Amino acid sequence: MSFLEELNIAQRNAVQHNKGPLMVIAGPGSGKTRVLTYRIAYLISQGVDPFNILALTFTNKASKEMRTRIETQVGSEARNLWMGTFHSIFARILRVEGNRLGYASNFTIYDTQDSRNLLKNILKESGLDSTIYKPSVVHNRISTAKNSLITANEYAQMPELLLEDKTNGRKALSNIYFEYTKRCFKANAMDFDDLLLKMYELLMRFPDVLYKYQNRFLYILIDEFQDTNKAQYLIVKMLADVHQNICVVGDDAQSIYAFRGAVIENMLNLKKDFSDLITYRLEQNYRSTKHIVAVANHLIKKNKVQLEKSLWTENEAGAKVKIFKTASDNDEARTLADAIMEEKLRNHYRNDDFCILYRTNAQSRAFEEGLRKVNIPYQVYGGIAFYQRKEIKDILAYLKIIVNPDDEESLRRIINYPARGIGKTTLEKVTVLAHEQDASLWDIISKIEQYHFTPRATKLISEFVIMIKSFQALMHQKDAYDLAMHVAKSVGLNRTLKNDNTPEGISRYENFQELMNSIKSFTQESSTDDDGNLIPDLDFSLGAYLQQVTLLSNIDQDEKADAVKLMTLHSAKGLEFPVVFIAGLEENLFPSIMSVNSRSELEEERRLFYVGVTRAEKKLLISYATTRYRFGNLTYCEPSRFLNEMPAESIDNPQQDNQRNEVFTKHKTFIKNQINSSHSVNKGYQHQVSDRFTAADPSLLQIGMKVEHQRFGFGKIVGIEGQSGKRIANIFFQEVGTKRIMLKFAKLQIVNNKTIE
C-alpha cells in the first residue's frame, strides 16, 4: 500500500491500528484528515466491507472531502461507506426505522427558521408575550434540553428547570416545549435536535434495532470528537459497545462549542468507557511557520485542563506575528484593508488568500466598509445563507409539501403564495379546526367540503389541494429537477420572479436559477467503477434532495470566489489561509465579557484564540482598538490578556509612523472631550451607599426592578439575558448611564421607593 509511505511514524501507527478503541489527539495542521481517510482506506484494503464502516463528521464539506480522498485510494467501493454528518446519518437510519416511533418515512426536517416560525405560531395562539418568550430564546432552551436528552415530559418533571424558567419570567416554557413537540409530531416533522434525540430513543427502546446496527457498524470513526455533545456521545457509545472498534480523532485544545452543548469531557474521559483505549499523538504541524506554531504552543499551555501535547514543525521560521494597535474599530478596519493591499502588492497574494476573523458577527460591519473603500471583494460567512432566502424557502416549501403534506410550516408559507385569495381569517379557522380535531392542517383542507366555509373559500382551497395532489402524482414519474421546474412554472413562481426587473428582483431570479442548477446537479451526480461503468448515486428523489439541502451547515457554502473571507472565529474551525487577521483583541470582547468569571469559560476563549492562530499558514496579524462603540456608548478598550501570553521572540510590534501617531493623539483627545461632556458616562461620579445596604439574591432580580449598586448608584433593570448563573443585566443608572453587569457578582439592592426615569 503505497499511501502508507506518505505518513510519518505517528500517523502510520494510527492508520494501521488493528482492533480495539483508538484515540488520535491531532494538533492543528498535523494531518488529521489524512489519518482518518487513510485509516478507512487501510481497513478496506484489509478486507473490511465498506458497508460495515461508519464515519461521522460535523460538516458535509468534511465528509465529501474524505470520501473523495478515499475513492482515489480504493475506487468506487468508497461509495458504500456509511459516511456523513451525525445528523445526515441518523436521518438516514430514522427514515428506515422511524415508524417504530410513529413517524412516516417521508418526515420533514425543520431547519432553525422553520422551528422558530412554529414557535411564533404557538406563542401567538397561547396569548404569550413574544418579547418575554422570544422565539429564539425559547428555541435555544428547547434545543439545549434535547441535546441533553431531556424530552418534553421529562422537562415538566424537573423542578430545577421549572424554577429556572420561573426565575427568568418564562414559567410557561415547559408547556410550550410540550406543545411544540406535539405539533412537530402531528406535522410528521423532526427538527435538527430530534435527529439526535429520536435516534437515542430508538436505540434505547428497541433492542433489536440496536443489535442490528451494532453488528452492521463493525468499525466506527469520528472526526472532531471534541465537539460531540452528550447525545452524540451516548449514541456512538451504544453502537460501539459490542465490537469496541471505535476510532476518535480530535484535539481538546480546539474544543470551542460548549455553547452548542459540546462536552470536552467526552474526550478527556474516554478511557473510562473504553478501558483498552490506545492513544496516539499527532504533533508535527505541516501548515504553519515556526513563529505561528510557537505562539500557538505558548498560548494553549496557559490552560490547566488539557491533554498533553506540543506542536512542532519543520517549516520555515517565517515572519513574526504582527500586532496592530489602532485608535478605533473603523481605524482597525482601515489598517487591515491597507495591510491586505500591501501584502497583495509585495507578495502577489490573491484575495482569497486572506481571512479576517473576529469574535462577534457585529464586528464585520466595519471591515466590510473598510474593504469596500479600497475595492477589495469580500465574502461574509454568517449572513443570510442561500437556502434561507425568501424566494428559495418559498420554492422549497412547495417541494416539501409534495413529499410530506402534513408539514404545517410549509403549508402555511405557500397556501396563499402566490396570492390565490385564501385569506388570514380562513387559515385561522382551519387552524382552530385542526386543533379541535387533533389533526394536521392538510387533514382539514383535504376534506374542506365537510366544513362550513364560504363557497368561495371552499372552492379556492379545493383547487389548491387538487394542485398539490397533481404534483404528488408526478413525484414518481419525474426526477427532482423536472418536478421542481414543473411546480415553479405551474404556480407562477418562475414568472413572478422573472418579471421583477428591479435590482433586488433580478437578484432573486438569479437565486431561483441557482437553486434549479443545484437540483439539476444533484440529479446528475454519478461516478464510474473501476471498469468504467456508470454508477448512479443512491437516491435522486425529491425527498433525498430536500434532506441534503436542509442539513447543509453554514460553512458548507461556496468558497471558490476570489474574495477576502470574513467570519467569526467559531466559523473558521477546519479552515486554513496563507494570511490570517484576528481582530478585536480587547478585554470584554475577546475574551468575551460573558467568559471572564470562570476558569472553564476563560479556557474555552483561549482555545478559540488558539484555533484562530492555527488557521494561518504564512502570516498572522493581530489587531486591537483603543476605543470602540458598544451598545451606543463610546468606551475605552483595554488590550486583551491573551496578547501578554504570546512569546516575545515571535512577536513584531510595528511602530506607528508619525502621521498615524498624530491622528491617534487627536482622536484620543476628541474621545476624552466626548466622554467628559457626556452625562451617560460620568466617570467622576461617586455614589454614597445607603444605610443598611443589603444585596438581593441574584435569582430574584427581574426586568423593571429598581436597584441600588454600591458604585454606580440607583438604576433600573431594562434587560436580562443568559440563563442561571450566567445572567447578565442591562441596567440604566441615573448617574453613569447603561451598564452590563453579571448578576451573579453584581451585589444589587432592590429599592421600591426611588424615582428612576
Cell of 50: 465498506
- How far is residue 90's CA from residue 247's CA, in Å, rounded to a whole number? 19
Closest CA to 274 of 306, 308, 240: 240
- How far is residue 603's CA from residue 620's CA, in Å, rounded to a whole number? 21
- How far is residue 705's CA from residue 715's CA, in Å, rounded to a whole number? 9
- How far is residue 159's CA from residue 165's CA, in Å, rounded to a whole number? 10
Note whether 523 and 481 are within 8 A (CB).
yes
> Exactly one of 615, 618, 619, 716 is catalytic; which is it?
615
587: helix, coil or strand? Answer: coil
Note whether 555 and 61 are within 8 A (CB).
yes
- How far is residue 527's CA from residue 79's CA, in Å, rounded to a whole number? 9
- Helices 390-403 & 455-474 angle (0-180, nearest 10): 80
Residues 6 or more apart in contact with residue 534 via CB below 8 angstroms: 526, 527, 528
- How far is residue 542's CA from residue 530's CA, in Å, rounded to a whole number? 29
Annotated catalytic residue 116: no
Annotated catalytic residue 727: no
* DSSP symbols for 342-357: HHHHHH---GGGEEEE
Rounded to a whole number, what is the distance in angstroms from the first to the last CA of the chain?
77
Note whether 30 and 285 are within 8 A (CB).
yes
* DSSP symbols for 495-519: HHHHT--SHHHHHHHHHHHHHHHHH
> Exactly one of 11, 32, 252, 568 is catalytic; which is it?
32
Whether a cis peptide bond, with omega within 30° of 0, leads into 377 is no
Annotated catalytic residue 224: yes
- How far is residue 156's CA from residue 97's CA, in Å, rounded to a whole number? 28
Annotated catalytic residue 33: yes
205: helix, coil or strand? Answer: helix
Order the strands of the 321-326 sheet from edge to edge: 378-380, 564-568, 354-358, 577-582, 616-625, 321-326, 651-652
> Exactly one of 12, 16, 33, 443 is catalytic; which is it?
33
> Exactly one of 193, 224, 352, 408 is catalytic; which is it?
224
Residue 36, judged by CB atoms within 10 A of its CB (0-12, 13-18, 19+), counts as buried
278 in the Ramachandran plot: left (φ > 0), alpha (ψ -120 to 50) or beta? beta
- Helices 329-347 & 658-676 angle (0-180, nearest 10): 160
Cell of 484: 421542481
Whose cell is 441600588? That residue is 708
> Exactly one of 59, 85, 232, 254 is catalytic; which is it?
254
Give the chain's radius of gyration (CA, Å).
28
> Exactly one of 165, 193, 223, 391 is catalytic; which is it?
223
Closest CA to 435 of 188, 186, 191: 186
Residues 6 or more apart in contact with residue 644 via CB below 8 angstroms: none
Positions annotated as catalytic residues are 32-33, 223-224, 254, 615
